[in-house]
Amino acid sequence: MEPVFQTVEVEEITECYRIIKRLGQGAYGQVLLAQDKLTGKPFALKLVRKDRTKLKSFLMELSLSISLSEHPGFITTYPIFTHTMDYYAMTQELATAGTLHHLIQAEAGLSEEIVKRCAVQISSALDYMHQKGLVHRDLKPDNVLLMDRDCHHIVLGDFGITQPVGSFVISMSHIIPYMFPELCDISDEEYLILHPSVDTWAFGVLLFVTLTGYYPWRRAFSDDLMDLDYVYWLDNLSYIPTPARWDQFSPAANTMLSNLLVPDHSCRHSVLSVLNYINFPWKTDVNGGNHGRLKVQWTVTVTVNLSRTL
């Protein structure tokens, strides 16, 4: 059953909300920190420009966001549709600690404990989407929202390009490090059939970035030398040394990441496969040895607040 929401039409968004500051901005709109004038409660207000987005597309994202709110791994979106002359607006809970992007330190990443905490929660949320026949399509640190800076509770957001499994996907004008290789490689006249392995690839890149503070490649395409090194290594694991960007990981972590980042989409493992490696070390020590030699047992406890109230 489609979610039911209240529709509010106003001349200016300030009729309902007190705007405190801008949290983010893009080509299609902006996200504001706002306060409900009646209750005083703070919200994240996502404004989408009407001249850049069709009403049908916005309502699809709103309905999808409300539906996913049933799971603790997604940002809560409230059943309110507000629109002005220039914007469509959706009201969401406030991620009080910002985004994962702002937490990652360049060239250093995050502690292994925090990355594992994130991995458990993100894999659960993605698996929930995949079980519902949906593909996020835009998994990256900017869209992982934090309820606390130690990542005990994180959620996924931004479902603007989320689509059902089996949808047609055409080529894109720009290529980013999270883009799966099969999309990088198609021409303007071709299309792909959407599969959950798209999120698996992006999840692997996200784990690499959070562990290191930099990308494994600029783009997963044959003209990128770092990607070429990686693919050649995968094809010759028994004969050549580990590439420089990958030798900082433990054997278990390299296996985990290479199972997610398989160039052949039909061979990629499930996002839940990371759970098989949680109790193994993921990074090598400063002397190039493996943490596993220290006989340290890693455990990650994820505490998620299941209480969701408006």
- The rounded distance, in Å, linking the Cα atoms of 69 and 155 is 10
- The rounded distance, in Å, linking the Cα atoms of 77 and 229 is 42
Residues 52-77 as b or e (16 or more Cβ within 10 Å = b): ebeeeebbebbbbbbbbbebbbbbbb
Q: Report strand pairing: 134-135 vs 163-164.
A: antiparallel
Q: Judge contact between 46 and 90, C-beta under 8 A.
A: yes
- The rounded distance, in Å, linking the Cα atoms of 118 and 103 is 12
- Name 32's Cβ contacts closer than 8 Å, sequence gap at least 6: 17, 19, 20, 21, 22, 23, 44, 45, 47
- The rounded distance, in Å, linking the Cα atoms of 177 and 195 is 19
Catalytic site residue from 51, 86, 127, 138: 138
Q: Is 138 marked active-site?
A: yes
Which value, in Å, is the radius of gyration of the alpha carbons in the chain? Answer: 21
Q: Which residues belong to the active site?
A: 138
